[in-house]
């Protein structure tokens, strides 16, 4: 039997995933929950094979204070940027489209965004983020500074 022969390996689809021990939800479910609880949304757009997504999962999301802050303060939403069900709003707008004019213009992963409970983007931050950057992001939203400070 040849190691590289296709019939030797079972087809097991690999799916991207958010960090374990966090209650991330699909977009629609997370949006509904955030509206019910009147919370902002922390949106994480990732994909399988993204080294910076894995680094963020291992280094940043492993911090106990980040877990407490983000699970208490936000509706947590995870979106697979390359999944079969590209994210669309009820209006038909493609939120994670790679073309200009889409709401988040996702051109790389990871992408982190804060949304209001209605799903309007407050700001977005692409790339690996440290614990300190996540803490600053949380303070920026929780203090309301996003309303008058870019």
- Our separate counts of H helices and E strands in the chain read 4, 4
- Please give the helix or strand (H or E) that residue 135 lies within, else none: helix 131-142
- Tens-binned pLDDT, residue by residue, of the chain (150 aa): 444 444 444 444 444 577 888 999 988 898 899 999 999 999 998 888 889 999 999 999 999 999 999 999 999 999 887 764 555 555 555 555 555 555 555 667 899 999 999 888 888 899 999 999 999 999 999 999 989 987
DSSP assignment letter at 25: B
What domains are defined for the chain?
A: 20-145 (3.40.30.10)
Which of 124, 133, 149, 136 lies closest to 55, judged by CA? 133
In the numeric block, which tokens belong to residue 37?
């609880």
Q: What is the DSSP string of 68-97?
A: HHHHHHEEEEEEETTSSS--B-TT--BTT-
């Amino acid at each position: 039997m040849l190691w590289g022969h296709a019939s030797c390996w079972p087809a097991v689809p690999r799916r991207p995933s958010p960090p374990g021990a966090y209650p991330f939800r699909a977009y629609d479910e997370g949006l509904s929950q955030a509206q019910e609880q009147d919370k902002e949304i922390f949106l994480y757009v990732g994909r399988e094979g993204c080294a910076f997504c894995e680094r963020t999962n291992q280094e940043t999301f492993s911090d106990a204070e980040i877990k407490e802050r983000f699970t208490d303060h936000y509706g947590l939403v995870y979106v697979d940027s390359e999944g079969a069900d590209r994210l669309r709003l009820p209006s038909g707008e493609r939120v994670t489209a790679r073309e200009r004019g889409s709401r988040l213009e996702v051109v790389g992963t990871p992408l982190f965004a804060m949304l209001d409970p209605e799903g309007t983007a407050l700001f977005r931050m692409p790339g690996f983020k440290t614990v300190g950057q996540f803490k600053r992001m949380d303070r920026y939203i929780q203090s309301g500074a996003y309303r008058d400070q870019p």
